[in-house]
Structure 1
Amino acid sequence: MHYHVYHPIDVVNGKGTRCSLFVSGCEHECRGCYNQSTWRVDSGHVYDQTLEDQIIADLNDSRIIRKGLSLSGGDPLHPANVSAVLQLVQRVKAECHGKDIWLWTGYQLNDLSVLQQQVIEHVDALIDGKYEQQFADPSLKWRGSSNQQIHCFNEQIEV
C-alpha cells in the first residue's frame, strides 16, 4: 500500500482531535474530486511497519487526547489497500483502548467484498458513496455530496 500524507494531529476529518491517514489508490475517479493526486495506487510514499507503529504510538500518546483514526484517500477499501488497512484497524482496536475509526470510501456498504466487509467490522463511522459533483453541498457535515451516506456502527460516538 502507498499513502499520500499522514497527519498525527487533525481536527477536520472526523469528530475531535484525530490521526488521519490518506492512502493512495482510487478506481472511482470522481469528477470534481479534490484529491486527484491520490488516484494512482503507486503514488505518494510506501506504507510500512514503521508508519503503522507510529500511528499506534500517536493514538496512545497521552500528551494529546485523540478520539481516534480517520482513513481517507484515495480509497482505503481499494483492492490494493484493503489488506494493509485491515491489519491497521485490527491493531487500533486491539492496542488503542477507546479510540474510534472513521473511514471514507467511494464504494457503497451494500456492495462491499468479503475482505472489505472485514475492515468495516472494525470501523465505527463509515462515509460511503462516490463524490457526485452535481450533488455537491459544502454545508454537509463529513461528506462532500448529498448522495453519500454516513453509517454509524457505534452508539457511543456522535457523528
Structure 2
Amino acid sequence: MSKTIRLSGIAYESLVNGPGMRRVFFSQGCNHNCKGCFNPDTHDFNGGEEMDMDELIQDVLGNSMIRGVTFSGGDPFERAYQFSYMAKIFKNNKLNIWCYTGYTFEYIMSHLESNNAWKELLSNIDVLVDGRFEEDKMEDGLKFRGSLNQRIVDVQESLKHNKVIKFKEYEIK
C-alpha cells in the first residue's frame, strides 16, 4: 500500500529555497492565513493533489544534481506525519533538509511531547525558517525568508542547547 501526501506543488530544481540545487515540496494546508502571504492557494487543506511519497522520494534520490530538500507551504507542520516520513529517508541519504513554518521554534518545542509527528519531523530537519510572514516586516533582499521576524534556525544545534541557535552559514540582515 502506498503512502500519500497532499501537496500544492513541487519546484523540481530551485536555488532560492535554501542553499544549492534543491527539490521543494509545497504542503497543502495552512491555518496561519498570514496577511500578504505569497502563496494563499496553499491554505485550503482540501486543495492541491494527493501524491505518492515513495515515488516523490525515489525521484529526488535519482537526481544527482539535488543537494537538498525544502518543505514549504502551506505549512509542513500541518502534515508532519507525512513530511517526517520523507525527511527521515532524505536524511538517511545525506540530503540537507530545510523547512518553513509559521510556528515558532519555541511553540513547536512546547508541543513535542503531545505530537510525535512534530518531534520526528523536527529531529530530521537541518534548518527551520520559523514564524509567520508579517507583511509590515517585509524587506527587499532578505535571504531565504519573507519578513524580518522570521528566523533561520540551526535545528540540530538548537535541540542540543534547548534554545534557538541561528544558522550561521549565512549573514542575516
Q: TM-score range by the shorter chain?
A: 0.7 to 0.9
Partners of 1:42 and 1:132 lie apart in 2 by: 25
Instruction: Within 5 Å, give how 1:1-159 maps onto structure 2.
Output: 1-48=5-52, 52-61=53-62, 64-78=64-78, 81-94=79-92, 96=93, 98-112=94-108, 113-114=111-112, 115=116, 116-153=118-155, 158-159=169-170
Tell me the distance in 2 between the aligned counterparts of 1:21 and 1:45: 12
The percentage of aligned residue pairs carrying the same residue is 31
SS at match of 1:77: helix
Whether contact under 8 Å (2:123, 2:156) holds in the other structure is no
Q: Which residue identity does 1:88 align to in structure 2?
A: M
Compute the RMSD of aligned alpha carbons: 1.8
Distance 2:155 2:132 in 1: 20
- Aligned structure 1 segments of 4 or more residues deviating by more than 3 angstroms: none
* The structure with more helix, counted as a fraction of residues: 2
Q: Distance in 1 between matches of 2:55 and 2:169?
A: 26
- Which runs of 5 or more residues in structure 2 are unaligned? 158-167
**For each residue in 1:60-105, what CA deviation from the matched residue of structure 2 results, as whole angstroms up to 9, or x when unmatched?**
235x421110000100001xx11111111112122x2x21100000
CA shift at 1:13, angstroms? 1.1
SS of the equivalent of 1:102 reads strand
Note the residue ranges of structure 1 that are not aligned, 5 or more in a row.
none
For normalisation by structure 1, the TM-score amounts to 0.86
**Larger RCO of the pair (alpha carbons < 8 Å, separation 6+):** 1
